[in-house]
Structures are given as C-alpha cells and as structure tokens.
Amino acid sequence: MPKLVNALEVRERLQTKPAPVLVEALPEKYFQDRHLPGAINLPHDSGDAEIRRVLPNLETEVIVYCASGPCQNSGILARRLEDLGFVHVLDFHEGKEGWERAGYDFERARSIRLGGSAWGDGSPACVR
C-alpha cells in the first residue's frame, strides 16, 4: 500500500536531488486548468503501456495526487503503479485542495476556468 504524504512532505521531497516525479491522476482538462508545479498528467485510468511510456524507470520515486481526500484517483493510480513494479510510490491524498490549503502556488496551462470543481464534489473527474 502506498505511503500517504502531506503537502509539506511533498514540497520538501520536490527540493531533493533527484526530485521525484509528481503525477496528477485527474483527466487532462483538470490538469490543464491548474496543477502542482512541475507535475505531469497521467489519469488514473491510463493503460499499462501509457504508464510505462511516461514512467519507464521502476526505481523512480513517484508522488501521485488528485483533487482532494474524497477523490480516489490518486490512490487508484498509486496502487496500479505498485502492481506494475514501481517501488517508491507516495500518495498525496489531500491533493490540490491540501496544496491550496497549505498556501502553495499552482501552475496553469491556460487562463480560463473550466466549469465544475476539480475537487471531490461529485464531478466526473473523481472516483469515489
């Protein structure tokens, strides 16, 4: 089972060398709206071949996150990564909501806000 980490732990780990790969497990439109700095997008329902293409090294430390605690996407993807043989997988279960609550900045791929929340409000982006 992946270890859970909080926003401060994620921020500290991102300052280490080599830095872990930060992965958002939400659909692309939510990633495009805003994401944690330096993150890549790999939705929780990505196929095994896509996961292996994006993350070819099983020894890489990977931190997976989604929208918030009620959203299960990060946990789903983190468990899949472990099932595929990744040995250093962390789940930032608080996700974007926890990152914002900690007062940390986001990156934005575009300036418009899509309809609905990227957090665990029952939107189709999150699996509960």
In a domain, 44, yes or no: yes
Q: What is the pLDDT of residue 44?
A: 96
Give which of 29, 31, 128, 44 is closest to 91, Cα–Cα.
44
In a domain, 128, yes or no: no
Q: Structural domain tally of the chain?
A: 1
In a domain, 120, yes or no: no
In a domain, 115, yes or no: no
CATH code at position 90 = 3.40.250.10
The per-residue pLDDT for range 72-89, each reduced to its tens digit, is 999 999 999 999 999 999
Q: What is the pLDDT of residue 126?
A: 58
pTM of the prediction? 0.85
The per-residue pLDDT for range 45-61, each reduced to its tens digit, is 999 999 999 999 999 99
In a domain, 24, yes or no: yes
In a domain, 82, yes or no: yes
The answer on pLDDT for 64 being more than 70 is yes
CB 24 within 8 A of CB 42: yes
Percent of all residues in the chain with a pLDDT value above 90, rounded to a whole number: 83
